[in-house]
Amino acid sequence: DAMVIQNPRYQVTQFGKPVTLSCSQTLNHNVMYWYQQKSSQAPKLLFHYYDKDFNNEADTPDNFQSRRPNTSFCFLDIRSPGLGDAAMYLCATSREVLSNEKLFFGSGTQLSVL
Interaction between residue 4 and other proteins (CB under 8 A):
yes
Nearer to other proteins, 35 or 78 (CB): 35
Q: Is 14 in the site for other proteins (CB under 8 A)?
A: no
Binding mask 21-60 for other proteins (x = CB under 8 A): ----------x-x------xxxx-x--x------------
Kindly state whether residue 98 participates in binding other proteins, applying the rule CB under 8 A.
yes
Instruction: Report the distance separating Cα 47 and Cα 54, nearest Å.
Output: 7
We find the least distance from the C-beta atom of residue 26 to other proteins, in angstroms, to be 15
Nearest to 85 by CA among 114, 106, 47, 58: 114
Instruction: Tell me how far, at minimum, the Cβ of 113 lies from other proteins, in Å.
Output: 18
Q: What share of the chain is helix, strand, coil (3-state, %, to 5)?
A: 5, 50, 45
Q: What is the side-by-side strand order in the sheet with 4-7?
A: 4-7, 19-25, 73-78, 64-67
